[in-house]
Every structure is written in structure tokens, then in C-alpha cells.
Amino acid sequence: MGLSDPDSLPVTTVTVFHYESYARFQAFANMGRSLMKPFEEEGMVFCKLMGSGKNFGLVPDFSQYVFLAVWKSDAHADAFLQSATYRHLQEGTDQTGTLYLRTQRAHGHWDGQSPFVKSTQPAASDATPVAVLTRATIRYRALPDFWRHVPQARQRLQAHSENLLFGIGVGEVPLVQQCTISVWRTAKAVDQYAYREAGHREVVQRTRQRQWYSEELFARFSVFKAEGTLFTDIQRIICAI
């Protein structure tokens, strides 16, 4: 199987689990177990199970968790969705959804690693949805300053809701290790938010000037497949391309 075959290329999956109330303690316990004993699945290169915050904020949302993984191939990612580990994580959910991503570009580190390898496939169509991931470890001295600016950042993101298909704030360690995952209708919509939104540019500059982060990572992906009830709108857009 050659490198030109899409099935042989690395793929990143983002699975969102939404749990019913009776299963939320079990879901929280899964987080602790994953930290003590990381998942090991065939073809898995990197993974994180992360909790979420309500509306990107400080208040935990115990109903929703995200499992992110990098796989050697689509086949390995598909096999995981049939595995005992996945079935265990899915227990007690009322909705789930998985995004399949190819890396357009990435820079920075996550726990000292650079997990997202740029795809060797041709550039995606201009109409293809784009996912953006930001992740940072926040210095303790910068925590008050960082969280004070989160409501403003959230408002700016919501102002672009017509092009924002999905967004969530997640993390491995509350307050300190934070990650955002967003899906946009097109690359043009991402660029308009990232480069033409004055408030967003100011926040980026502030992070550099005040050295908020001890480690950070940014990655942009093409969304080539979406599955599950949480991502039906994204599925429709992809199928229409």
C-alpha cells in the first residue's frame, strides 16, 4: 500500500461522548484511569482523553468528554471504533460523534511531542470544513490573567457562529492544561477570524508579550469524514462537496 493511498496516511480522530446523567461518574472515573494507565491500541501514535468546560469556561461539564487520537492509518482508526475500549467509553452515552482529520499544518508541542504530521495528500477543496486545535500549558503565574480574558475570546468566537460548525473547550488538567477544538465551514472562514478579527490578533500578541504558556501547540486540519449524531450537519456538508 503506497503513500499515495489515503488509507495508508496518518489520521487524527476527535470523538465526542455526551453522557446521560447516571453515567457521568463513570465517565469521570475513565479520565483518572486514562491518566494512570494510558490507552494502548494497535496503530495508535498519540491519544488524550479530556474533560470539557461549559461554554469554554471554568465550570466543568461532566456530561461531555473528548477522546483525541492519532493513528497510523484510517483502518486503525476504524478498528478502534469497533474495539472493546471504545465500547467501554461509549457506555451510558446518549450521543456521540467522530471527526476524521488530515493535518494541513501544525507547530508546537504537546507533552514534548509533535503528534500531528502534515498530510502528503493534495490540498483539500476550498469547500471542505476545517478543524482548528489549540493547546497550551498555562504558567501558574499567568492563570488569573489568562482566565480573565476567556469571556472576551468566547464572545468573539460566538460572533462568527454562522461559520462555526462546532466548538468545545477541553483539557487534561483543570485550569492549567487547556485545549480548544473548533470546526469551521471553510478555510476562508478560519482566516477571517484568525487574521482579520482585531480582538483575536490582540489576544495572540498578549500571549507572546506576557508569556502565558510554558508549552503550546496549534494545528489546522481538513475534515474529510464525520460520523455520529453530534456531527450530522458536518456530514451533510462533506457529502455535498
CATH for 208? 3.30.70.100
* pLDDT at site 137: 95
Q: Which structural domain, as residue segments, surrounds residue 72? A: 6-240
pLDDT band at 217 (very low <50, low <70, confident <90, very high): very high
**β-pair partners for 48:** 68
Q: Confirm whether 76 is domain-assigned.
A: yes
User: Letter for the amino acid at 158?
Assistant: Q
Q: Which of 58-72, 152-166, 208-222 has the lowest mean pLDDT?
A: 152-166
Q: Confirm whether 73 is domain-assigned.
A: yes
**pLDDT beyond 60 at 2:** no
Q: pLDDT, tens digit, for every residue of 74-106? A: 999 999 999 999 999 999 999 999 999 999 999
Q: Confirm whether 55 is domain-assigned.
A: yes
Element (H, E) at 76: helix 74-80
Listed residue (25, 167, 169) closest to 91, CA to CA: 25
**pLDDT beyond 60 at 4:** no
Distance CA 133, CA 154 (A): 15
User: What is the total count of domains within the chain?
Assistant: 1
Q: Confirm whether 1 is domain-assigned.
A: no
The pTM (predicted TM-score) of the whole model is 0.91
Distance CA 87, CA 72 (A): 21
